[in-house]
């Protein structure tokens, strides 16, 4: 799994003119799923994201997690995170999972985050044409690949 974690002052997702998610301070997490992903990847990422200390403490040092600041989370599926740009100018998405595999994995990822977070996680709608709005705070943007745990 690949994720892009963005620290936000606010974020929202709109589908067909209706907001499906709307948060203030917290994390916007874009997630891309491939067929090689497992529950182990989900659990590792969920723990990593919830505990990641990327929010400022009283001295404005990044020492606090999203839990520590009582923040919120939005998760948005994004198959384009698995784009291959090796050949030509048109990205290939061959590594991105098909919905039959990706949807249950996405739902399990959201559940794992909620379990770690002990709080509801908001989402977009898998496969929909989503309009994602965010105010990146910092900016702080972290890329994590569960297959490259460095």
Residues with active-site annotation: 80
User: Residue 41: in which H helix or E strand, if any?
Assistant: helix 39-51
Residue 116 neighbours by CB distance under 10 Å: 18
> Could you give phi then psi for residue 109, rounded to 5 degrees?
-65, -45
Q: What is the dihedral of CA 68, 70, 71, 72, to 10 degrees?
A: 120
């Amino acid at each position: 799994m690949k994720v892009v974690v963005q620290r936000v002052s606010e974020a929202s997702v709109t589908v067909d003119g209706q907001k499906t998610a709307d948060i203030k301070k917290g994390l916007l997490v874009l997630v891309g799923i491939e067929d090689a992903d497992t529950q182990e990847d989900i659990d590792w990422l969920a723990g990593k994201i919830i505990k990641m200390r990327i929010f400022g403490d009283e001295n404005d040092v990044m020492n606090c997690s999203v839990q520590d600041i009582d923040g919120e989370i939005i998760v948005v599926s994004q198959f384009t995170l698995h784009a291959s740009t090796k050949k030509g100018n048109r990205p290939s998405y061959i590594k991105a999972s098909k919905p039959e595999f990706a949807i249950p994995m996405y739902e399990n990822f959201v559940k794992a985050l909620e379990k770690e977070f002990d709080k509801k996680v908001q989402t977009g709608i898998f496969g929909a044409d989503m309009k994602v709005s965010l105010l990146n705070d910092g900016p702080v943007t972290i890329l994590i690949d569960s297959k490259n745990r460095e």
